[in-house]
Every structure is written in C-alpha cells, then in structure tokens.
Amino acid sequence: MIAKHIPNMICIFRILLVGPVVWLLWHGDFVATLWLFFIAGFSDGLDGYLARRFGWRSRLGGILDPLADKFLMVSMFITLTLVDMIPLWLAALVVGRDLVIVIGGLVYHWLFGAVELQPTGISKINTMLQLMLVLAVVSGAGYGWPRGAWAIALGACVMVSTIVSGVDYVWQWGRKAYLSVADAT
C-alpha cells in the first residue's frame, strides 16, 4: 500500500463503521454506540490531518470524506428517529437538506460543469451542531447526561442552522448557475 492512500483507507473504514454504529444504536447499546461514534469522529480528524500534513489529498479523498460524514450522520438521524429519540420532523429536515444539496450539485454538474465540494461556514456550524445533538441524545440515553433541556436546545439550533445552511447552499449555487448562464449569453 502506498502511504498517500492512507487517508482514503481511513475514510473507507469510517464508512464501514456506519453499520455497526447503527446496529448498536438500534439494539440500545448506547455506551458502545458512543465509543464507535467517537472512533469514527477521531478517524475523520486523522484522515484530514494526514491529507493536509503530508499532501496526500486526492479527488477520491475529496469525495470519500464528506460522503463518509454524511453516511454516518444521516444514518444516525434516521436511526435515532426510528428508536424515538429525536422527532421525525428534525430528521426529515436534516436528510432533506442533504438531499437538496446532493440533487442540486448533480443538476449543476449536468448543466454547467464540475462542482467543487467546499462546505460553507454555516454548513460547518450545522455539522458541528448535528454532531453535538447526536452525542447529547446518545450520551443522555447511555449515561443520563446531559439532561433533556440540552438536547432540546441543541435540536432547536440544529433546526435553525439546517434551514439557514440549506438556503445558503441554494442561494450560492443558484447564483453560480445564473452567472454561468449570463456569461454564456
């Protein structure tokens, strides 16, 4: 194995962790879920660090990394909804935003050209808040902390940041599409 492929292998490992994390959550093993979720989060930081530190960035890594993150977070939100730990409307909002971004990116690619996968500032905040909410809900079930008020407050923040970041993506990519059409005429 060539060293430059290590970040991509870590991303694939993170994708493979999704199944066990969901299985543990579904079966109510919240402590083990937290540990695997922590390992997935650590691996996310590790692959990014290695790619930046040693210049091991690749087009594949640029696709795998956000894909691994989305698989994990979408799976967690769906599973947390199925086990009645977060409301359906919140999971639908989170998953719906991601679908709008993916479908919008595909349409843009088909009509206008290559899409650069660059998260916006509000998107990074949204991802952090989603992560904090998942951790709060699962640790609340596993350890009894934090209490429900924290999860409710984080849920409200996730709702607002999901809407704002979704609108921001639509606005930015809509503007790019408009400018592409305007430049072509």
Instruction: Please report whether residue 93 resides in a domain.
Output: yes
Instruction: Please report whether residue 181 resides in a domain.
Output: yes
Residues 180, 112: contact at Cβ < 8 Å? yes
Question: Are residues 105 and 161 both part of a single domain?
Answer: yes
Q: What is the pLDDT along the chain (185 residues), one digit of tens a residue?
A: 699 999 999 999 999 999 999 999 999 999 999 999 999 999 999 999 999 999 999 989 988 998 999 999 999 999 999 999 999 999 999 999 999 999 999 999 999 988 877 889 999 999 999 999 999 999 999 998 887 788 999 999 999 999 999 999 999 999 999 998 888 87
- Positive or negative torsion for Cα 120, 123, 128, 131: negative
Question: Are residues 140 and 177 both part of a single domain?
Answer: yes
pTM (2 decimals)? 0.91
Query: Considering only CA atoms, which of 80, 82, 6 is closest in space to residue 43?
Result: 6
Range of the domain at 18: 1-70
